[in-house]
């Protein structure tokens, strides 16, 4: 028997998104550095030549930082069977705000990037409040 929830589904989607954001970065690194140099030990202070790749790397780090907050909250809502229409909507909004954040950040649109971030943060707050209002 499979038991799932919107919160659990969108946690998985958010993790998958975070997991694939590095792919364009690696492809860019291969193009900029060549295969051999790109496959050697990484040089963490080496900034990509392409500005979009630098911004996407920052978006990827931000996605990781936010997934670390969102996932435990969403998993807690799921495990404690606290899901509501509000928590389901929050999970969906979190995922799409992270998609928007990554795209907007990569293209360098500052105000929209902040709006996308705030929507994701609001989703985290919604989950947090649901957990602690039930306590």
Domain with 91, as residue range(s), is: 6-19+51-133
Kindly list the distances between the CA atom of residue 1 and the CA atoms of 76, 77, 78, in Å, as whole numbers in the listed order.
20, 20, 16
The pLDDT value given to residue 134: 86
Task: Flag whether 44 is in a domain.
Answer: no
Give the residue among 92, 94, 17 at the shortest CA–CA distance from 56: 17
For position 69, which CATH number holds? Answer: 1.20.120.550
40-84 pLDDT per residue, tens: 866 767 788 999 999 999 999 999 999 999 999 999 999 999 999
SS3 (DSSP) at 55: helix
Percentage of the chain exceeding pLDDT 70: 96
What does the alpha-carbon distance between residue 21 and residue 13 come to, in Å, rounded to a whole number?
12
This prediction's pTM: 0.91
- The rounded mean pLDDT for the chain is 93
Tokens representing 83 are 């899901």
| Domains: count for the chain | 1
Residue 24 maps to a domain: no
Burial class (CB in 10 A: 0-12, 13-18, 19+), 60: buried
Is residue 111, in this structure, part of any structural domain at all? yes
Question: What pLDDT does 71 receive?
Answer: 98
């Amino acid at each position: 028997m499979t038991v799932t929830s919107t919160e659990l589904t969108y946690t998985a989607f958010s993790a998958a998104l975070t997991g694939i954001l590095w792919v364009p970065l690696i492809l860019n690194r291969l193009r900029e550095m060549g295969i051999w140099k790109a496959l050697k030990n990484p040089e963490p202070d080496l900034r990509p030549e392409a500005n979009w790749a630098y911004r996407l790397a920052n978006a990827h780090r931000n996605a990781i930082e936010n997934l670390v907050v969102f996932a435990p909250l969403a998993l807690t809502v799921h495990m404690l069977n606290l899901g509501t229409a509000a928590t389901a909507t929050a999970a969906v909004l979190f995922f799409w705000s992270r998609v928007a954040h990554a795209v907007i950040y990569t293209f360098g649109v500052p105000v929209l990037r902040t709006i996308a971030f705030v929507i994701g943060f609001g989703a985290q707050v919604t989950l947090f409040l649901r957990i602690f209002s039930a306590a």
